Amino acid sequence: MFLALNEIKKNKLRFTLIIGVLMLVSYLVFFLSGLATGLENLNRESVDKWKATAIILTEESDKSMYQSSLAIEDVNEIDAEEIAVIGQINAVAGNGDSKTNVSIFGINKDEFIMPKVTEGEVFVDDNEVIASDALKEDGFKVGDELHLSSSGEVLKIVGFTDNARFNAAPVLYGDLATFHRVKFGEAAEANKESINGIVVRADELTAITKNDSLESIEIETFIRNLPGYTEQNLTLNFMIYFLFGISAVIVAIFLYVLTVQKISMFGVMKAQGISNSYLSRSVIAQTFILAAIGVAVGFVLTLITAAFLPSAVPVAFDLVTMLIYGLVLIVVAILGAVFSVLTIVRIDPLKAIGG
Amino acid sequence: MAVLELKQVKKTFGSGHKEIEAMKVTDFSADRGELIAIIGPSGSGKSTFLTIVGGLLTPTSGAVIINDKNLADLNEKERSKIRLKEIGFILQASNLIPFLTVANQLKLLDQVKKDNMTKKQLEELYEDLGIGDLRTKYPADLSGGERQRVAIAKALYSNPSIILADEPTASLDSDRAYEVMELLKNETKNKNTTTIVVTHDIRLVGYCDKVYKMTDGVLVQEK
Ligand SMILES: Nc1ncnc2c1ncn2[C@@H]1O[C@H](COP(=O)(O)OP(=O)(O)O)[C@@H](O)[C@H]1O
Ligand SMILES: [Mg+2]
């Protein structure tokens, strides 16, 4: 530490540059991870909110809720602690001023996937819905009448709920009858038994149903199969992992150049009898200090940026993930210092002192 | 009892017709309290001798024994420990660490070994070398002579039992050079250490107990 700190103190500009680079890399990593989490939430927060074990869809739907079509009576073939039916359809909803994609969930009020209302009232009458509070930012408010693209029905927002987006669209919760009128129009009465899936809480996934035409899909699997979800995650995570590699290379190059400049100095210390392990620890300690400062500043910058971002940018910061990524960055930087350590170990003190 | 002994030590560089016998077969020994000068022209093998004695250069044949330990029996890590504990190097190119102040050059030794000089001894050393006012300065801000004196302080600070100096007075004026020799002599006598000074400055040999002359790799005692 003695050597490491004194060197940093003497060569502030040089080390500020390294810290700056590490800061930018960690800023980017944190931001991308925030974006990944934000985009994940955009897709899954309404599903996470169910705190469910699994969803039952028809086998032939291939894990797509939209493609799955069941009858309410299928519930009788399900064995689980808690059961909730769900009908789902996508639509474009407009209140006269603005239009937006929505996902309409038809549910039974008294079942467990019914969300808590954070503003306004619960739906009671025909065509009343609770809306995702994400819609508030688009100018929607309680009392708005919503005209739908694909249906003659007019829905009315009577309340809002939080964390209610599904596959990137804000959710409107209404009762099953409302859902049936939106989906089937004139034929609503004839299809009043039709639902898309059954959401369950259960201890054991395998024992939920014996019906071969139904498939119990674990919630995480269901989410991974949402259109675009896995592709998006892979892309962002790939970028993050790539950045880890880049930061290792940057640190390795920087430190290596610095070490090469100091070869004769290390040689003198080795001639004096200062051990390889002391010198190596010094380089590692220095890297740790630089990386820790860089990552910490990057972290703070990320939080500051997040505070000033328009809410339309889908970032959400998960502290645990950020902490892990921060640690990985520091570890990766230290791996980058290993090159320099190897160089130091190989220095011949005799050559360095020009004996 | 000899602190330092060379038995039938020889060093050749290269091989075939390019072979250079930098040091012919040599026997040498030094006792506690001895200040020894090695003189000789450039290229005669003085530095080769000094780096072999200091355990930095492995001889082609023969044994180097420091405080009863044969260096050939030790690995690099153990030799490095001996250099740290037993030997104080004062090198030709007064190699200081560019990012450490004068005071910290010495403090570095506190980080890696015990039994260095006390505060009081250190103050005296600063005084004797005339570098007390330079403590907070970096090597780049010092003159050649000042740097050389700091290098000497660095070598003495660790209380070595053997001090090896390669042209320690090369960048000093005559008065300073005499002062430095005086200092090395006192250090040798007071602490009962062994000091070997390589020099081509004949005027300095008056301070020394023994004088050896190196000519074409052959070491001959003159005094
Ligand atoms: N690493 C080396 N490789 C080859 N020859 C060397 C090496 N070091 C020293 N020599 C040769 O050994 C001889 C003695 O060198 P040196 O001990 O440095 O002399 P001095 O210090 O008396 O000037 C010279 O001829 C020098 O060229
Ligand atoms: Mg020489």
Q: What is the pLDDT of residues A294-342, one digit of tens each?
A: 999 999 999 999 889 887 788 888 899 999 999 999 999 999 899 899 9
- Specify the DSSP class assigned to residue A51: T
> For the segment A19-73, what is each residue's pLDDT rounded down to a tens digit?
999 999 999 999 999 999 999 988 999 999 999 999 999 999 999 999 999 999 9
Taking the centre of ligand 2 as the mean of its atom positions, its distance from the CA of residue B46, in whole angstroms, is 6
Interface test with A, best of B108, B114, B161 (most A CBs within 10 A): B108
- Specify the DSSP class assigned to residue A353: T
Does residue B104 sit at the A interface (CB-CB below 8 Å)? yes
Cα–Cα distance, B31 to B195 (Å, whole number):
9
> Of the candidates B84, B92, B111, which has its C-beta nearest A354's C-beta?
B92
* Cβ separation B82–A355 shorter than 8 A: no
- Specify the DSSP class assigned to residue B17: G
> Of the candidates B93, B99, B112, which has its C-beta nearest A354's C-beta?
B93
**Residue at A324 is within a domain:** yes
- Angle subtended by helix axes B144-157 and B174-191, to nearest 10: 0
Partners of A75 in the beta sheet? none
Taking the centre of ligand 1 as the mean of its atom positions, its distance from the CA of residue A148, in whole angstroms, is 93
What pLDDT does residue A351 have? 79
**Residue at A96 is within a domain:** yes
**Does the global pTM surpass 0.95?**
no
Q: Are residues A131 and A195 in the same domain?
A: yes
Taking the centre of ligand 1 as the mean of its atom positions, its distance from the CA of residue B22, in whole angstroms, is 6
Q: Are residues A235 and A93 in the same domain?
A: no
> For the segment A272-298, what is each residue's pLDDT rounded down to a tens digit?
899 999 999 999 999 999 999 999 999
For the record, the structure tokens of A234 come out as: 């892979």
Is residue B120 very low, low, confident or very high in pLDDT (cuts 50, 70, 90)?
very high
A287 vs chain B: nearest CA distance in angstroms?
A: 17
Does residue B191 surpass a pLDDT of 90? no
CA dist B79 → A247, B69, B74, B113 (Å): 38, 10, 6, 15
Q: Are residues A66 and A10 in the same domain?
A: no
How much is the mean pLDDT over chain A? 91
Q: Are residues A191 and A121 in the same domain?
A: yes
Q: Are residues A310 and A179 in the same domain?
A: no
Partner B, chain A 261-290, Cβ-Cβ below 8 Å:
264-265, 268-276, 278
What pLDDT does residue A354 have? 63
Q: Are residues A109 and A62 in the same domain?
A: yes
Number of domains within chain A:
2
Rounded to two decimals, the ipTM of the complex is 0.89
What are the structural domains, with CATH classification, of chain B? 33-45+81-221 (3.40.50.300)
Is residue B92 very low, low, confident or very high in pLDDT (cuts 50, 70, 90)?
low
Q: Are residues A66 and A146 in the same domain?
A: yes
Cα–Cα distance, A168 to A231 (Å, whole number):
14
Among A153, A170, A204, residue at a domain's last position: A204
**Residue at A118 is within a domain:** yes
For the record, the structure tokens of A205 come out as: 């996934």
**Residue at A224 is within a domain:** no
User: Which atom of ligand 1 lies nearest, measured to the CA of B44?
Assistant: 22
**Residue at A223 is within a domain:** no
Does residue B23 sit at the A interface (CB-CB below 8 Å)? no
* Cβ separation A6–B100 shorter than 8 A: yes
**Burial class (CB within 10 angstroms; exposed 0-12, middle 13-18, buried 19+) of B222:** exposed
**Residue at A215 is within a domain:** no
Q: Whose CA is nearest to atom 18 of ligand 1?
A: B47
Interface test with B, best of A268, A283, A286 (most B CBs within 10 A): A268
Range of the domain at A343: 2-43+230-352
* Share of residues in chain A with pLDDT > 90 (%): 68
CA A279 to chain centre: 41
Q: Are residues A259 and A191 in the same domain?
A: no
Does residue B85 sit at the A interface (CB-CB below 8 Å)? yes
**Residue at A329 is within a domain:** yes
Q: Are residues A276 and A137 in the same domain?
A: no
In 10 A of CB A289, how many CB atoms? Answer: 16
**b/e burial code for range A134-145 (CB count within 10 A of at least 16 → b):** bbbeeebeeebe
Q: Are residues A74 and A157 in the same domain?
A: yes
Q: Are residues A258 and A309 in the same domain?
A: yes
CA atoms within 13 A on the CB side of A13: 0
In 10 A of CB B50, how many CB atoms? Answer: 23
**Residue at A214 is within a domain:** no
Does residue B94 sit at the A interface (CB-CB below 8 Å)? no
> For the segment A68-109, what is each residue's pLDDT rounded down to a tens digit?
999 999 998 888 899 999 999 999 999 988 899 999 999 999
Among A156, A188, A204, residue at a domain's last position: A204
> Of the candidates B81, B85, B108, which has its C-beta nearest A3's C-beta?
B108
Q: Are residues A22 and A108 in the same domain?
A: no
Cβ contact A200:A52 at 8 Å: yes
**Mean pLDDT for the stretch of residues B20-48:** 92
The region of weakest confidence among A33-42, B19-28, B103-112, B170-179 is B170-179
Query: Residue A166: what are its φ and ψ, rounded to 5°?
Result: -130, 120
> Pairing mode, if any, of strands B2-13 and B20-31?
antiparallel
Cα–Cα distance, A20 to A4 (Å, whole number):
18
